[in-house]
């Protein structure tokens, strides 16, 4: 019966039952992992379960390896790391932090900050709680504490604190990064100390350097001064010694020449000797001027420049000199330096610029003197000026000297457009210019002779011309006296070795003629002439000098001299000038 | 009575290999000399699997005798096989 009933059951029901059974079987197979792949009829695709499983396995392996790596990094990174829970108990601590604390990592776990580092907890717990309450990270928090790892040592830490969230975005703890900065801190402190002392040292060194620079400048000034003194000494040796001797010799030859009037051959030889002497005198004179032009010391830089402009080696160059009228007196050293520098620059222009004109300007302001030497000649390339060339070396020396006097040298030049040199030196108002050189005066004084009166008036003194010879050089005086003694109408009434003596003499004796040297110690010829002329205008005063500059002759004439003659000139001119008193 | 099977597998599948071994062993035991087995690698012949409405491998479709039946899995359970083919009855009949 039942069997029949069963067979009677509708086929639809059977089919459903069959499919249900099949579905259960599929599920069974799947559950028991007896399946290799699942085929999706709808998507027409097949999934190989084995591959998925393998891939999953692989993923798990990779993930676990990564986790191990991260764990290893976490443990061994040279920075302290830890995680605290909401109760500030250690959940995780890396080895580095444990070492920093001096407490094994596992001893931290489950314990609070205050149990591990009570000193540190005091100052940090409040901040840590705030991270948990607010969720705001705290960056670069600096801490100072002592740890069991290094008892008695104060250490500095830098902490970063981040909140840790769970899936529900609730804060479950704090992730901390702790860096030891004790060394850095100590270094910083040392650095600060060093900086402080360094500044002190820099100040000290600067002062020393300044002192040295001052010393150097002082030495440079002294050097220029010594150089100039040496020049003056040489010039004086030439002037006082050689020139006077030569002139003395010349007077002698004049005498011999007169005595040998009828002996032609000897006369000619004497003439040649005379000529040689003239040339020697000229040579020594120009050398003594080169070394130290007296006009520079007597009348200043501007007058010396006018004189320089007329010198033979510069005579082809028309030099325009422009200077302010009321110039302050310059110190001796500065005057000499400027003169030498201008001379060098002008000589350079003659040598290199291929030009007939040059300009020299001297200007002043409150703090400095500036000299400009300008030409419109060939010019040169300033950048490529060879320092090794004599010109370059000269300019370098000039610049070095200037720098030592705190001055400056500016060179401007464009090829084809001329050149422009500017020398500026600050004026040291504290050092008053030394107008004359004391030692030179003293030396002159020693060489100067004494007053002597010649009392050998034998013939009729009224018919004879009474002459007073004033010169600080004995050789010169002797030469003159001998020369004049030969003349029947001339009588030497006295000799003086400086201006003061000359004035006294003129007062006492009142000679007809005074032959007056210009440069003399105590009082020079110009001043003496002026004084004598005011009192005794009838006395003929004839200036006699090594200096042949017109400036001297003008000054002598202004003072009252009737004439100015050159010491090296022919004897006849002197005699004629003396005799003109009777004219 | 003649029996025909189509075994759907994927090559390199562990369960597929086992299913093939099990099927051959069961046939030898129960249906010696009166069975034929066709093996279909689903990776190579996907369409046949779809035609027979096969959803996973390994699966065996019994095409003869009718009605057609499908057995899923690696055939490690002989009872399932025996039950599906009503071999117990036959055995009893034998």
From chain A, pick out residues whose CB is under 8 angstroms from the CB of B53: 41
Say what the pLDDT of residue A455 is.
41
Beta bridge partners of B60: B7, B71
CA distance B70 to B73: 10
Contact B42 A50 (CB under 8 A): no
Q: With 0.95 as the threshold, say if the pTM is over it.
A: no
Closest-CA distance of chain A to residue B82, Å: 15
A468 token code pair: 């007073």
- Chain A interface, best mutation among B42, B51, B54, B57, by max A CB count within 10 A: B57
Say what the pLDDT of residue A312 is.
76
Q: How many other C-beta atoms lie within 10 A of the C-beta of residue B93? A: 8
Edge-to-edge strand list for the sheet holding B35-41:
B35-41, B3-9, B59-64, B69-72
Pair A36, B15: CB distance under 8 Å: yes
Contact B56 A30 (CB under 8 A): yes
Say what the pLDDT of residue A89 is.
93
From chain B, pick out residues whose CB is under 8 angstroms from the CB of A42: none
CA distance A547 to A298: 12
From chain B, pick out residues whose CB is under 8 angstroms from the CB of A30: 56
- Chain B interface, best mutation among A3, A20, A23, A29, by max B CB count within 10 A: A29
Say what the pLDDT of residue A529 is.
92
Contact A28 B72 (CB under 8 A): yes
Task: Specify whether the backbone of A140 is left (phi greater than 0), alpha (psi in -120 to 50) or beta.
Answer: left
Beta strand pairing status for A37-40 and B56-57?
antiparallel
Per-residue pLDDT of chain A (583 residues; tens, 9 = 90+): 444 445 556 778 888 887 788 788 788 887 877 777 776 655 556 677 777 888 888 999 999 999 999 888 888 888 999 999 999 999 999 999 998 888 898 999 999 988 888 888 888 888 999 999 999 999 999 888 888 777 888 888 899 999 999 989 999 999 999 998 888 888 888 889 888 888 888 888 889 888 888 888 788 778 877 887 787 778 777 777 777 778 878 877 777 877 777 677 777 777 778 888 888 887 777 777 777 777 887 778 888 888 888 877 787 888 888 887 666 677 777 888 888 889 889 988 888 888 888 999 988 877 788 899 999 888 888 877 766 677 777 888 888 888 877 888 888 888 888 899 999 988 765 544 443 333 333 333 333 333 344 444 344 445 788 999 998 888 788 888 888 888 888 888 888 988 888 998 888 888 999 999 888 888 888 899 999 999 888 899 998 877 666 677 788 888 888 888 887 777 788 888 888 887 6
Which residue of A lies nearest to B51 if distances are taken between CA atoms?
A: A41
Residue A106 to residues A146, A387, B41, Cα–Cα distance (Å): 21, 79, 57
Beta bridge partners of A2: none
A4 token code pair: 């029949």
CA distance A255 to A247: 12
**ipTM score assigned to the predicted complex:** 0.71
Which residue of A lies nearest to B16 if distances are taken between CA atoms?
A: A36
């Amino acid at each position: 019966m039942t069997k029949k009933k069963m067979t009677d059951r509708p086929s639809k029901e059977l089919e459903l039952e069959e499919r249900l059974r099949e579905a259960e079987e599929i599920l069974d197979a799947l559950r028991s992992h007896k399946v290799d792949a699942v085929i999706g009829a709808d998507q027409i695709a097949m999934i190989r379960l084995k591959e998925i499983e393998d891939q999953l396995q692989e993923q798990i392996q990779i993930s676990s390896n990564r986790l191990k790596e991260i764990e290893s990094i976490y443990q061994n990174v040279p920075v302290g790391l830890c995680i605290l829970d909401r109760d500030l108990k250690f959940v995780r601590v890396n080895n580095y932090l444990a070492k920093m604390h001096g407490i094994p990592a596992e001893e931290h776990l489950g314990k609070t900050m205050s149990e591990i580092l009570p000193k540190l907890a005091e100052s940090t717990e409040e901040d840590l709680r705030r991270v948990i309450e607010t969720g705001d990270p705290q960056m670069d928090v600096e801490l100072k504490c002592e740890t069991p790892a290094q008892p008695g040592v104060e250490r500095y830490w830098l902490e970063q604190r981040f909140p840790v969230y769970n899936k529900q975005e609730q804060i479950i703890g704090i992730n901390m990064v702790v860096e030891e900065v004790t060394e850095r801190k100590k270094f910083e402190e040392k650095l600060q100390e060093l900086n402080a002392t360094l500044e002190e040292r820099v100040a000290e060194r600067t002062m020393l350097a300044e002192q040295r620079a001052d010393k150097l400048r002082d030495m440079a000034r002294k050097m220029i001064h010594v150089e100039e003194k040496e020049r003056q000494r040489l010039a004086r040796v030439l002037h006082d010694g050689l020139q006077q001797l030569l002139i003395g010799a010349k007077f002698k030859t004049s005498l011999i020449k007169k005595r040998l009037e009828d002996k032609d051959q000897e006369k000619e030889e004497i003439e040649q000797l005379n000529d040689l002497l003239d040339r020697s005198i000229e040579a020594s004179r120009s050398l003594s001027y080169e070394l130290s032009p007296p006009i520079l010391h007597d009348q200043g830089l501007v007058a010396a420049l006018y004189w320089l402009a007329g010198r033979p080696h510069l005579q082809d160059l028309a030099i325009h000199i422009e200077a302010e009228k009321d110039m302050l007196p310059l110190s001796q050293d500065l005057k000499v330096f400027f003169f030498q520098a201008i001379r060098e620059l002008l000589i350079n222009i003659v040598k290199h610029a291929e030009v007939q004109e040059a300009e020299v300007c001297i200007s002043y302001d409150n703090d400095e003197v500036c000299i400009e030497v300008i030409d419109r000649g060939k010019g040169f390339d300033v950048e490529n000026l060879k320092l090794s060339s004599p010109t370059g070396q000269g300019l370098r020396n000039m610049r070095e000297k200037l720098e030592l006097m705190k001055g400056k040298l500016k060179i401007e030049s464009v090829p084809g457009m001329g050149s422009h040199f500017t020398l500026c030196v600050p004026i040291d108002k504290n050092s008053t210019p030394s107008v004359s050189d004391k030692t030179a005066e003293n030396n002159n004084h020693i060489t100067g002779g004494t007053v002597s009166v010649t009392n050998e008036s034998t013939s009729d003194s009224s018919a004879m011309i009474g002459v007073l010879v004033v010169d600080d050089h004995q050789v010169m005086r002797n030469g003159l006296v001998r020369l004049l003694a030969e003349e029947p109408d001339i009588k030497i009434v006295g000799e003086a070795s400086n201006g003061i003596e000359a004035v006294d003499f003129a007062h006492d004796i009142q000679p007809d003629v005074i032959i007056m040297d210009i440069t003399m110690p105590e009082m020079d010829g110009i001043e003496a002439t002026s004084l004598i002329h005011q009192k005794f205008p009838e006395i003929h005063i004839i200036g006699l000098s090594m200096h042949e500059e017109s400036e001297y002759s003008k000054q002598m004439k202004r003072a009252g001299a009737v004439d100015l003659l050159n010491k090296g000139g022919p004897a006849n001119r002197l005699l004629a000038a003396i005799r003109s008193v009777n004219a | 009575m003649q029996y025909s099977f189509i075994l759907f597998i994927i090559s390199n599948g562990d369960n597929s290999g086992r299913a093939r071994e099990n099927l051959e062993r069961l046939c030898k035991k129960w249906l010696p000399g009166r069975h034929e087995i066709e093996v279909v690698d689903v990776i190579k012949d996907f369409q046949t699997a779809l035609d027979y409405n096969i959803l996973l491998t390994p699966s065996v479709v019994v095409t003869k005798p009718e009605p057609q039946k499908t057995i899923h899995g690696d055939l490690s359970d002989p009872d399932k096989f025996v039950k599906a083919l009503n071999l117990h009855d036959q055995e009893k009949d034998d």
